[in-house]
């Protein structure tokens, strides 16, 4: 039996990982620690939940010390790039200080395995695309910087206190659980696929394309969109890898194939079967032109094979979840 302490497990990605652990790992014991600022209690389909905040060391320490997990997974983050430009200190407080508190609590409670959610934003404007894990780390916005600092804290703590880690650098996560039990429930969003779908459903009168002068084939920014269920599956593979190999490592999480903003909009028009109003607008602060993962290390080392590697499937699952919930 394994005990999982899942920080931010009531949020979008965390709740999908909780679901998969609950379904696939026999006798797993799950405790979710979440402040419910963006998470939802009813998205936690397995285990128990305790309300607490990563900015509070005492709360973390008490919960970890009492539960004595075999491994900690950390999903608690602020994740909106433009918001991080406006509120950098809040981002460092949650994304960086939160990890400092978590590492201290783990060290003090004697827990030595951690899976951490990082981001492609640590690469900034990459010179080489697809981006390998050993590419230069030069984030161009406070969100990416807050996550890179957290990665550095984890690496140093690993050396000093023997904390074994798996760092996952997520590219653009989208979609919902195919059974539609859980999905992205952010009420206010800045992310492309939910905005496109809200526009298609008439929840928004129109949407904007942020930047049509990027150095890409159609002038709009390119991202590597990964289905949330494929991403959750990576966590399950990584859990096995950490327990079996005893090693620490870093992996990019994407498919290695990018889509432009215009391509995503066109795919959504096809999936939904409706046209909707799209305007061209200026570039958004902090947005790099192209982020596409080199995911060969992930596929090889963790023997991971994607199941939902199709932009229309990703959009379709997100759309059906939205229809069901709004």
**Residues whose CB is less than 8 angstroms from the CB of residue 95 and which lie 6 or more positions away in sequence, other chains included:** 77, 78, 143, 146, 147, 150
Question: Residue 81, interface with ligand UDP (CB under 6 A)?
Answer: yes
Q: Measured from the CB of residue 175, what is the shortest distance to ligand UDP in angstroms? A: 13
The span of 32-40, 53-61, 204-212, 300-308 binding ligand UDP (CB under 6 A) equals 204-212
To ligand UDP, the closest distance from the beta carbon of 102 in angstroms equals 23
Instruction: Give the nearer residue to ligand UDP in terms of CB position, either 43 or 81.
Output: 81
Q: Where are the beta strands (DSSP E) in the chain?
A: 3-7, 29-34, 48-51, 71-74, 113-119, 164-170, 172-174, 207-210, 222-223, 225-227, 249-253, 259-260, 278-281, 290-291
Q: How far apart are CA 316 and CA 15, in angstroms?
A: 19
| Residue 192 lies near ligand UDP (rule: CB under 6 A) | yes
Q: Is 287 in the site for ligand UDP (CB under 6 A)?
A: yes
The reply to whether 221 sits near ligand UDP by the rule CB under 6 A is yes
131 binds ligand UDP (CB under 6 A): no
What burial class does residue 186 get, using C-beta atoms within 10 Å of its C-beta: 0-12 exposed, 13-18 middle, 19+ buried? middle
143 annotated active-site: yes
C-alpha 292/C-alpha 130 separation (Å) is 5
The single residue of 143, 165, 255, 308 carrying the catalytic annotation is 143
Choice between 3 and 283, CB closer to ligand UDP:
283
Instruction: Out of 19, 147, 191, 262, point to the residue binding ligand UDP (CB under 6 A).
Output: 191
Window 258-277: contact mask with ligand UDP (x via CB under 6 A): ---x----------------
Task: Tell the smallest beta-carbon distance from residue 24 to ligand UDP (Å).
Answer: 28
Handedness of CA 144, 147, 148, 149 (dihedral sign): positive
The terminus-to-terminus CA distance of the chain in angstroms comes to 38
172 is an interface residue for ligand UDP by CB under 6 A: yes
Choose among 29, 23, 27, 31: nearest CA to 6: 31
Our CB check for ligand UDP shows the closer of 160 and 203 to be 203
């432009």: which residue's tokens?
260
Q: Could you list the active site residues?
A: 143
Interface residues with ligand UDP (CB under 6 A) are 81, 172, 190-192, 195, 207-210, 221, 223, 261, 284, 287
């Amino acid at each position: 039996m394994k005990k999982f302490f899942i920080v931010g497990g009531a949020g979008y990605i965390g709740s999908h990982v909780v679901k998969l652990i609950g379904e696939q790992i026999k006798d797993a014991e799950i405790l979710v620690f979440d402040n419910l600022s963006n998470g939802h209690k009813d998205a936690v389909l397995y285990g128990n939940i305790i309300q607490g905040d990563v900015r509070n060391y005492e709360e973390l320490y008490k919960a970890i010390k009492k539960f004595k997990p075999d491994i900690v997974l950390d999903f608690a983050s602020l994740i909106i790039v433009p918001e991080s430009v406006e509120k950098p200190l809040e981002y460092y407080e949650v994304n960086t200080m939160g990890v400092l508190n978590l590492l201290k609590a783990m060290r003090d409670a004697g827990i030595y395995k951690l899976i951490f959610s990082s981001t492609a934003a640590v690469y900034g404007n990459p010179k080489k695309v697809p981006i390998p894990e050993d590419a230069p780390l030069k984030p161009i916005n406070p969100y990416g910087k807050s996550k890179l600092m957290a990665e550095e804290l984890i690496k140093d703590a690993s050396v000093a206190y023997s904390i074994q880690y798996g760092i996952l650098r997520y590219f653009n996560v989208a979609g919902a659980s195919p059974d539609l039990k859980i999905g992205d429930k952010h009420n206010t969003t800045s992310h492309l696929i939910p905005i496109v779908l809200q526009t298609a459903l008439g929840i928004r009168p129109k949407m904007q394309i942020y930047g049509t002068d990027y150095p890409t084939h159609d002038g709009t920014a390119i991202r590597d969109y990964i289905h949330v269920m494929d991403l959750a599956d990576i966590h399950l593979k990584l859990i096995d890898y950490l327990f079996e190999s005893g090693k620490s490592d870093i992996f990019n999480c994407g498919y290695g194939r990018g889509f432009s903003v215009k391509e995503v909009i066109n795919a959504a028009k096809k999936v939904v079967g409706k046209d909707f109003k799209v305007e061209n607008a200026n570039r958004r602060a902090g947005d790099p032109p192209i982020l596409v993962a080199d995911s060969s290390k992930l596929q090889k080392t963790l023997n991971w094979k994607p199941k939902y590697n199709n932009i229309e499937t990703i959009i379709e699952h997100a759309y059906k979840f939205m229809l069901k919930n709004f």
